[in-house]
Chain A
Amino acid sequence: MDFRDTAEEARFREEVRAWFDENLPEELRGHRGGAARFDGPEVRAWSRALYDAGWSGISWPSEYGGRGLSPRFQAIYLEEEARAEAPPHIGVIGLGMAGPTIMAHGTDEQKARYLQPLLAADEIWCQGFSEPGAGSDLAGVRTSARLDGDRFVLDGQKVWSSYAHIADFCILLTRSDPDSERHEGLTYMVVDMHAPGVEVRPLTQITGEAEFNEIFFANAEVPVENVLGEIGGGWRVAMTTLLHERGTLGFALVARLEVQMRKLLALARDRGASPTQRDAIAREWIQLQALRVTAYRSLVALERTGVPGPEGSILKLQWSEANQRVTALALDLLGPDAQLLPPNGPYGGYWAVQQLRSRGNTIEAGTSEILRSIVAERVLGLPRSR
Chain B
Amino acid sequence: MDLAFTELQDELRAQARGFLESTPEPTFAALAELGWTGAGVAAEHGGAGLSFLEEAVIHEEAGRALLHAPLWSTSALLPFLPAEDQAAVAAGTSSWTLALGPLVPDLDTATNVAVPGGDTVWELVGCEREILPTNDSTRPLGVVSGGEPGRELFASDALPALRTRSLAILALEAVGVGTRALELAVEYVKDRAQFGRPIGSYQAVSHPLATAYTELELARSLAWWAAWCVAEDDPQAAVAAAAAGAEAADAAVAACERAIQAHGGIGFTWEHVLHRLYKRALGIQSWEAPSAQLRAEVASELLDRGGT
Contacts and interface: CB of A to CB of B under 8 A. Distances in A.
Interface string B207-236: 101110110011101101100110000100
Nearest to B308: A285
Interface in A27-45: none
Contacts of A376: 200, 203, 206-207, 209-210
B217 A286 contact: no
A311 B5 contact: no
B186 A373 contact: no
B213 A314 contact: yes
Contacts of A294: 217-218, 221
Interface stretch (B38-46, B87-95, B160-168, B297-305): B297-305
A311 B303 CA distance: 30
Given A282-B296, A290-B218, A318-B214, A72 B243 contact: no
Given A1-B224, A4-B1, A314 B214 contact: yes
B104 interface: no
Contact of B246 (A286, A299, A382): A286
A324 B153 CA distance: 50
Nearest to A373: B203
Contact of A289 (B189, B198, B225): B225
Contacts of A279: 292, 295-296, 299
Contacts of B211: 372
A290 B221 contact: yes
B219 A290 contact: yes
A317 B3 CA distance: 21
Nearest to A72: B1
Contacts of B217: 294, 310-311, 314
Contact of A296 (B1, B229, B296, B303): B1
Contact of A372 (B186, B200, B210, B306): B210
Nearest to B198: A383
A117 B215 CA distance: 41
Residue among A281, A300, A372, A380 facing the most chain B CB atoms (10 A cut-off): A380
B247 interface: yes
A385 B299 contact: no
Interface string A69-112: 00010000000000000000000000000000000000000000
A168 B306 CA distance: 47
A293 interface: yes
B53 interface: yes
A375 B207 CA distance: 8
B1 A286 contact: no
Given A282-B298, A293-B225, A380-B209, A268 B303 contact: yes
Q: Interface range on chain B: under 10, 10 to 19, 20 to 34, or 35 or more?
A: 35 or more
Contacts of B270: none
B302 A265 contact: yes
Contacts of B194: none
Interface in A171-209: none
Nearest to B221: A293
Interface string B99-133: 00000000000000000000000000000000000
Contacts of B203: 369, 372-373, 376, 385
A271 B221 CA distance: 32
A206 B247 CA distance: 33
Given A290-B218, A311-B217, A382-B189, A278 B3 contact: no
Contact of B213 (A3, A296, A373, A380): A380
Contact of A281 (B1, B202, B303): B303
B170 to A, nearest CB: 15
A263 interface: no
B3 A383 contact: no
A369 B206 CA distance: 11
Residue among A2, A3, A296 facing the most chain B CB atoms (10 A cut-off): A3
A296 B224 CA distance: 12
B296 A2 contact: no
Interface of A: 1-6, 9, 72, 265, 268-269, 273, 275, 278-279, 281-283, 285-287, 289-291, 293-294, 296-297, 299-300, 310-311, 314, 317-318, 369, 372-373, 375-377, 379-385
14 contacts: A278-B296, A278-B303, A279-B292, A283-B295, A287-B247, A290-B219, A293-B3, A300-B2, A314-B213, A317-B214, A372-B203, A375-B214, A376-B203, A380-B206
Given A6-B2, A379-B213, 18 more contacts: A1-B5, A1-B224, A3-B229, A9-B1, A275-B296, A279-B292, A282-B296, A282-B299, A285-B298, A287-B247, A293-B224, A299-B3, A369-B207, A373-B203, A380-B182, A381-B186, A382-B186, A382-B190
| For the complex of A and B, 7 pairs with smallest distance between CB atoms | A293-B221, A290-B218, A376-B206, A282-B295, A375-B210, A278-B299, A382-B200
